[in-house]
Structure 1
Amino acid sequence: MMNMVKIGIIGTGGIARAHVSAYRKLPFVQIVAAADVIPGRAREFAEREGLTDAAAYDSHTELLAADLDGVSICTPNVSHHRTAVDSLRAGKQVLLEKPMSVTLAEALDMVKAAKESDRMLSIGFQPRYDPNMKRLQEIVQSGRLGQVYYVETGGGRRRGMPGGTFISKTLAGAGAMADIGCYSLDMALNTLGYPRPLTVSAFTANHFGTNPLYHPEANKFEVEDFGVAMVRFENDLTLQFKISWAMHMDTLGATMFLGTDAGLKVTPAGSGPWSGVWDGAIGSMTMFHDDFGGHTSTEVPLIGHQLNLFDEKVRDFAEAVRDGRPAPIPGEQILIQQAIIDGVLRSADLRREVSVQLPV
């Protein structure tokens, strides 16, 4: 008989519905509880989603006292640290929506809690499940490009600024960097095997978010809507990172991996004003190399698939809980990009290069 995995949902906003939808497709998963800090909201959520047998709580601590194997944390960024640490210490396996945390100190504390409790902390980066993203990693790590010495990544929306909790520095920690920039960083860093960063030199701005011509909550806009950074890594690798929620431009360009033997240009899938960032699938891959005494390029064939990447992320976590596997996207990895984002914000504030702060 299949072992049922009992799951609780912490935070019942929009992203929680996607988690419920994904879990319901798995015959070995039972959603047994939901919690939200707004009184009555968890019960309304459970009824609306047809979770008739699920318990509803007004705090995550009450939910964690229930008989659960794991939780999906779908709360605002500012709540990620407390709910994740409490869940891990309560012996639950954790799937945490991105970004990992508001501050680097919080991310460090979460990774420490996972290690001490011997529980998994997996972070929700569904683009990793695109088969073409896996092919990209295979190409780069195969050595086909030679030594990779420069990477350029990021993305930009001509218009695509959220509101609410996303634009509060207290609640979100950062703006475009944390919201969509974290996808760009994970795409590049995971492809490279998460090298260790050394320094960051960065600039950020919020010219659009604070202008009432472009944002209806301009008077509440506290975070960056644009950022650019140069990150130096060990082994003579440099990464240029750029991200924008809004701009007077159609694109910030493709992601590029420059190597001593070949280069690779990668573009994201999708079209429209909210596209152009690495929160989905790959649209094209082109390798540039020299052959037969001249310059040439090769289109890398894309793998056709009908996968729902978000569903794949949730399925992988649920199967890891069931089978006792390690975290599919471990917090220890994402801690590195949190350190880079922390460095970006410090460098922009100080207007100079800073060292990336990571544990030895």
Structure 2
Amino acid sequence: MTVSKTIRVGIIGSGGIARAHAAAYKTMDHVEIAAVADVVPGKAQQFIDRDELKDAQPFEDHRELLALDLDGVSICTPNKAHHRTAVDALEAGKHVLLEKPMSVTLDEAIDMVQTSKRTGSMLSIGFQPRYDPNMDIVRNIVQSGRLGSVYYVETGGGRRRGMPGGTFISKELAGAGAMADIGCYSLDMALNALGYPKPLTVSAYTSNLFGTNPRYHREAERFDVEDFGVALVRLEGGIALNFKISWAMHMDTLGATMFLGSEGGLKVTPAGVGPWSGVWDGKVGSITLFHDLLGHHTESPIPVKEHSINLFHEKVRDFVAAIREGRGAPIPGEQILYNQAIIDGVLRSSELKREVEIALP
């Protein structure tokens, strides 16, 4: 009987999201968490002790971790450190599972993708909602041609109240707010269904009226990112994308995701209830196909697949499988580069108060 090679991984950053990565790795046979790095003295060791990673080595400098014999790394640092850490890891010959958002700026994202191509090291981005089987249903319908020529897409979501704190609300550490935190999920859902067309221009507006108000946020004095944004994005192929996102608002929803085509339309709602629901970091609630049948306006509900898949664990599991099988990145940086380009365009357009073009190599 063939014994599988043990895949050795490191975790860079030891916050809450790193614990989710560690929990996923620990469920897998022939996977060893060999090291943890965090710039805060003592924090990596605390992580190792708390999560009972008895064979893992602690480091304060991620470059020392990368000097070990590792197959891959999970990068779970604040957004600001994504670029440098990922490039260092790729240069060191390690495959990379990078938490979302991909980067702070578009130039950083481009550099990461180019480094991955040059070194041959895999760069996969952490968008676990892709592993909901209902996302495949949505993509298959859109890709099948059943909608005809798709000309308009509306995506995004809003929480009535759902603003995080800590590193998420600092422009210096996060680069962006709601756009980077949950907006990137909405963009991936729509762009992946479309086949990731290239974005061309963005005209956007953002605000932070809730985050900077002490009535709504306990860290209002240090809140300097956006908590709301809306944008019209022109995509290759004559498609208009209406993108909207909110961490907080006086409304129950910003509406469903919809795809309008010449032969049909598709409406997709997120699952979940309560003030933190209404965005695409969870599961699909309903899928409805709108079309004409025998001259009649017809609505066809598409059965939603009920499942108990741990989407986060599946993301990490697929990364390990890709390393083991020598295949490409499950969610390649080359795709998410377009996602990051839109977020970058939204922030630039909002600041300049005009439409901006997206320039990609």
TM-score, with structure 1 as normaliser: 0.99
The Cα offsets for residues 247-279 of structure 1, whole Å up to 9 and x where unpaired, read as: 000000000000100100000111111110001
Whether the 8 Å CA contact 1:89–1:117 is kept in 2: the answer is: yes
The Cα offsets for residues 44-77 of structure 1, whole Å up to 9 and x where unpaired, read as: 1101101111111111011001110000000000
Paired-residue identity, %: 70
* One of 95, 117, 122 as aligned partner of 1:93: 95
* One of 273, 282, 287 as aligned partner of 2:275: 273
1:206 alignment counterpart: 208
* One of 247, 269, 272 as aligned partner of 2:249: 247
Runs ≥4 residues deviating over 2 A: none
* One of 304, 326, 329 as aligned partner of 1:324: 326
Look up the SS of the partner of 2:203 in the other structure.
strand
* One of 125, 132, 135 as aligned partner of 2:134: 132
- Using the alignment, how far apart are the partners of 2:142 and 2:67 within structure 1? 45
TM-superposed CA distance for 1:216, in Å, is 1.1
Look up the SS of the partner of 1:278 in the other structure.
coil
1:30 aligns with 2:32: yes
- Using the alignment, how far apart are the partners of 2:166 and 2:47 within structure 1? 20
Look up the SS of the partner of 1:284 in the other structure.
strand
- Using the alignment, how far apart are the partners of 1:57 and 1:358 within structure 2? 36
Look up the SS of the partner of 2:189 in the other structure.
helix
2:18 alignment counterpart: 16
TM-superposed CA distance for 1:305, in Å, is 1.6
- Using the alignment, how far apart are the partners of 1:255 and 1:170 within structure 2? 31
- Using the alignment, how far apart are the partners of 2:161 and 2:96 within structure 1? 33
Whether the 8 Å CA contact 1:184–1:278 is kept in 2: the answer is: yes
The Cα offsets for residues 109-134 of structure 1, whole Å up to 9 and x where unpaired, read as: 11111111100000000000000001
State the one-letter code of the partner of 2:278.
G
1:310 alignment counterpart: 312
State the one-letter code of the partner of 2:225.
V
State the one-letter code of the partner of 1:13.
G
Matches within 5 A, 1:80-119: 80-119=82-121
TM-superposed CA distance for 1:300, in Å, is 0.2
1:227 aligns with 2:229: yes
What RMSD in Å do the two structures reach over aligned CA positions? 0.7
State the one-letter code of the partner of 2:82.
H
- Using the alignment, how far apart are the partners of 1:262 and 1:73 within structure 2? 41
The Cα offsets for residues 288-326 of structure 1, whole Å up to 9 and x where unpaired, read as: 111121101000011122110001100000000111110
Look up the SS of the partner of 1:235 in the other structure.
coil
- Using the alignment, how far apart are the partners of 1:22 and 1:231 within structure 2? 36
1:300 alignment counterpart: 302
- Using the alignment, how far apart are the partners of 1:33 and 1:197 within structure 2? 38
Structure 1: give runs of 5+ residues left out of the alignment: none
2:72 alignment counterpart: 70
- Using the alignment, how far apart are the partners of 2:142 and 2:337 within structure 1? 22
2:346 alignment counterpart: 344
State the one-letter code of the partner of 1:217.
E
TM-score, with structure 2 as normaliser: 0.99
- Using the alignment, how far apart are the partners of 1:358 and 1:280 within structure 2? 30
Look up the SS of the partner of 1:230 in the other structure.
strand
Look up the SS of the partner of 2:320 in the other structure.
helix
State the one-letter code of the partner of 1:90.
A
1:150 alignment counterpart: 152
* One of 268, 286, 292 as aligned partner of 2:288: 286
- Using the alignment, how far apart are the partners of 1:227 and 1:287 within structure 2? 28
Structure 2: give runs of 5+ residues left out of the alignment: none
TM-superposed CA distance for 1:219, in Å, is 1.1
2:166 alignment counterpart: 164
The Cα offsets for residues 73-95 of structure 1, whole Å up to 9 and x where unpaired, read as: 00000010011000000000000
State the one-letter code of the partner of 2:6.
M
Look up the SS of the partner of 1:214 in the other structure.
coil
